[in-house]
A and B are shown apart, each in its own frame.
Chain A
């Protein structure tokens, strides 16, 4: 099955401020009692968005002016903690197609890439510039260009970092590696035997 070649993502942005936003915060564990990922979008950031009665709390995702956002912006070490893919799945199913942050936790980054959700690293200063623009005008279009490693927001163009492997995988439509992994079956069998895993 041919995958989409993801060269750029365009959309409106929303800023969820904070360092070390962990995957428990992105999707609390109690919502992982499910055998499919369907419906997880509803519970994204649940405990910081809703009070114990289920009413909205103050949170950027609850602001109507950001309701069309498809690019999430945050700070350092985004997605740390639990390896749960439920976190990127919830972001994707809520409608996010790209994330820009100061840094990403590694497992989260890999999980996003496998879903075709690019994660781009921008400097603290550039994050501030981008979020100032979208705060004053949430309708501003953001373009993440994966080929050029840039983010354009209105007149602002800043460089971002996307590791080469992720860049290649996304732009060549190979972000889901399963087909390529399956090709090497014979080599895998030989290595399994050679290393004595079946002894």
Chain B
């Protein structure tokens, strides 16, 4: 019977059916970080058990690591204690740890692919909802809670109900100034923040075929913002080319066999889906959010919605809540809204191609006076490569602070935070209330190039105009 990739990977990894009717699913690769793992290791100690497959478990530090001060002890004693705890746990349980001294540290979802740990046809879990990022390689990757982190550490499996699969076809090519981030925001806006509940998203069509691996990662990354627990793209030659020669990729002698195996996981051409959505790339504009949920977004040309004219009571309340929190005037264009902070980074848009693309246009421009602009590479390797290409200098000369690798202001568990009701043009993935570290801070999500345009103008802008795209 013809199957899609999700079904093939699921069937291959199903150990057995559990008494609750869910599947005991083998997790091939487990990624851990400092924030959601310490309690799980504590539970292992309480139960007196070891990590079942330490060789399939990889740790790094990203969520709370400072991006300016890179030497321990860190000024925040709680952060310092958590990082020490991860080092201790990795040592005690024999887990590979990409620490700050390794030169390989970074956001867990940047590190996995970079090291070749993320491979097609595998299952991956991590105590972080953006784990779907790894789906760009044709892996089925789940974000999990800490008790499930314990389950995976202890048994290399977890209990899970099978998902339905929605195929999202995007045909055509993006117009100048439109990026993978806009595709992600467009899909979430179209299907809603809860539209993907119960589904894995399979992204395909000519746009995804033409996308680089890093563009695919950006879209898969934000599957959870649309409610989908996983998102993936079928593996192809680009996937294999990306993986070739990376530290954890198959060796040359095993390469051909690995590629054959990976290809066999791709969705069959005549397979079925539980749902299909077709989108034209032509309809996708540079997209920004105006509210406090990632599905509250529109084209940069958009006007702030007016709750008064919304007929559905539920939607009216959501719009009212959002415009009140965001302090935006209904009917006004979003373009021209003053910003205080520009943040470029995160597991969504903190890869080399993101900084390269911005650097192409940023040269010769200056960050507007009064705007704090920070650029945070997704990993130490991204940082190193950007520096080799002189990208960091282009950012610094424009007035961005070039920082060390980490999650930084995406969730603001480290010192990088908004203050008061500052408004941030952000390349991250969530515009929730208080997300960027201040209970009244405001986030407008957009592509990296749009963040740069906002930074240069001091207000939310159309990058196509600012950089003559």
- Given A83-B144, A105-B194, output 18 extra A-B contacts at Cβ < 8 Å: A19-B317, A28-B434, A29-B413, A30-B412, A33-B79, A35-B39, A47-B434, A81-B225, A81-B430, A83-B36, A84-B145, A105-B197, A106-B197, A168-B19, A178-B151, A181-B18, A188-B157, A197-B29
Given contacts A181-B159, A191-B13, contact A114 B193 (CB under 8 A): no
CB of A198 closer than 8 Å to a CB of B: yes
Cβ–Cβ < 8 Å partners of A47 in chain B: 433-434, 439
Q: Please indicate the chain A residues that have their CB under 8 angstroms from the CB of B52 in the complex.
A: 185, 188
Interface residues on B, range: 35 or more
Complex contacts, A184 vs chain B, CB 8 Å: 15-16, 24, 155, 157
CB distance A19 to B145 under 8 Å? no
Contact at A20–B193, with CB atoms within 8 Å?
yes
A78 nearest in chain B by CB position: B194
Closest 3 pairs between A and B when the two form their complex, measured CB to CB: A85-B145, A111-B145, A47-B439
Query: Of the candidates A89, A107, A114, which one forms a contact with B143 in the assembled complex, judged by CB atoms under 8 Å apart?
Result: A107
A68 to chain B, nearest CB (A): 27
Q: Mark B191-211, 1 if CB is under 8 A from A, else 0.
A: 001100110000000000000
CA distance A10 to B439 in the complex (A): 34
By a beta-carbon cutoff of 8 Å, the part of chain A in contact with chain B is 18-20, 22, 24-25, 28-30, 32-37, 47-48, 52, 75-77, 80-86, 88-89, 103-107, 110-111, 114-115, 124, 163-166, 168-169, 172, 174, 176-178, 180-182, 184-185, 187-188, 191-192, 195-199
For residue A42, give the distance in angstroms from its CB to the closest CB of chain B. 15
Contact A188 to B156, CB < 8 A, known contacts A33-B79, A105-B197, A174-B19: yes
Q: Is B266 an interface residue (CB 8 A)?
A: no
29 contacts between A and B (CB under 8 A): A24-B432, A25-B433, A25-B434, A28-B439, A29-B412, A30-B412, A36-B39, A37-B146, A48-B433, A77-B197, A82-B129, A82-B430, A83-B36, A83-B144, A84-B35, A85-B39, A86-B146, A107-B145, A111-B148, A174-B19, A180-B159, A181-B151, A181-B155, A181-B157, A187-B15, A188-B26, A188-B52, A192-B28, A195-B13
**B64 partner residues in chain A, CB cutoff 8 A:** 33
Chain B residue at minimum C-beta to C-beta distance from A177:
B159
Q: How far is the CA of A89 from the CA of B100 in the complex (A)?
A: 30
B437 within 8 A of A: yes
Taking the closest CB of chain A, its distance from the CB of B446, in whole angstroms, is: 19
Closest A residue by C-beta to B78: A33
A188 in contact with B15 given A25-B434, A114-B148, A178-B150 (CB within 8 Å): yes
Do residues A188 and B155 form an inter-chain contact, with CB atoms below 8 A?
yes
Chain B positions within 8 Å of A110 at CB level = 144-145, 148, 160
- What residues on A are CB-neighbors of B35 within 8 Å? 32-33, 84
B145 touches A88 (CB 8 A): yes
Q: Which residues of B contact A103 (CB under 8 A)?
A: 194, 197
B window 155-170: CB within 8 A of A:
155-161
CB-based nearest A residue for B21: A165
**Bound-complex Cα distance A174 to B82 (A):** 31
Q: Mark B122-161, 1 if CB is under 8 A from A, else 0.
A: 1000011101000000000001111110110011111111
Q: Is the CB of A182 within 8 A of B154?
A: yes
- Is the CB of B20 closer than 8 A to any CB of chain A? yes
Cα A89 to Cα B38 in complex, Å, equals: 14
Q: Tell me the complex Cα distance, A81–B410, Å.
A: 13
Q: How far is the CB of B165 from chain A (nearest CB, A)?
A: 14
Q: How far is the CB of A170 from chain B (nearest CB, A)?
A: 9
Residues of chain A within 8 A (CB-CB) of B318 are 18-20
A-B contact count (CB 8 A): 209
Residues 1-26 of chain B: 1 if any A CB is under 8 Å from the residue's CB, otherwise 0? 00000000000110110111110101
B321 part of interface (Cβ distance < 8 Å): yes
Query: B residues within 8 A CB of A19?
Result: 314, 317-318
Closest residue of A by beta carbon distance from B64: A33
Report chain A residues within 8 Å CB of B381: none
**Cα(A18)–Cα(B314), bound, Å:** 9
Confirm or deny: B306 has a beta carbon within 8 angstroms of a beta carbon on chain A: no
Instruction: Point out which of A168, A195, A197 has the most chain B C-beta atoms below 10 A from its C-beta.
Output: A197
A11–B325 Cα distance when bound, in Å, is 33
Q: Does B104 contact A (CB under 8 A)?
A: no
Residues of A within 8 A of B432 (CB): 22, 24-25, 81
Which of A29, A106, A172, A192 touches B53 (beta carbons < 8 Å)? A192
| A174 touching B20, Cβ below 8 Å | yes
Interchain CA distance A110-B194 in the complex, whole Å: 16
Cβ B194 vs Cβ A35 within 8 A: no
- B216 part of interface (Cβ distance < 8 Å): no
Report whether A191 and B15 are in contact in the complex, using a CB–CB cutoff of 8 Å. Answer: yes
Closest B residue, CB atoms, query A82: B129
Interchain CB contact under 8 A, B20 and A107:
no
Cβ-closest chain B residue relative to A169? B20
Closest to B35 in A: A32
B16 A187 Cβ-Cβ under 8 A: yes
Contacts of B263 in A (CB 8 A): none
Tell me if A114 and B42 are in contact (CB < 8 A): no
How far does the alpha carbon of A191 sit from the alpha carbon of B157 in the complex, in Å? 11
Interface: B55 (CB within 8 A): yes
Q: Which residues of B contact A174 (CB under 8 A)?
A: 19-20
Taking CB atoms and an 8 Å cut-off, the chain B residues in 72-125 that contact chain A are: 76, 78-79, 81-82, 85, 122
Q: Least Cβ distance of A90 to chain B in Å?
A: 12
Which residues of B lie under 8 Å from residue A77 when comparing CB positions?
193-194, 197, 227
Q: Which residues of A contact B434 (CB under 8 A)?
A: 24-25, 28, 47
B293 at the interface (CB under 8 A from A): yes
Chain B residue contacts of A181, Cβ below 8 A:
18, 24, 151, 154-155, 157-159
A17 CB → nearest B CB, Å:
8
Interface residue? B229 (CB, 8 A): yes
Closest chain A residue to B149, Cβ basis: A85
Q: Counting CB contacts under 8 A, is B254 at the interface?
A: yes
A80 touching B194 in the complex, CB below 8 Å, given contacts A30-B412, A181-B157, A195-B26: yes
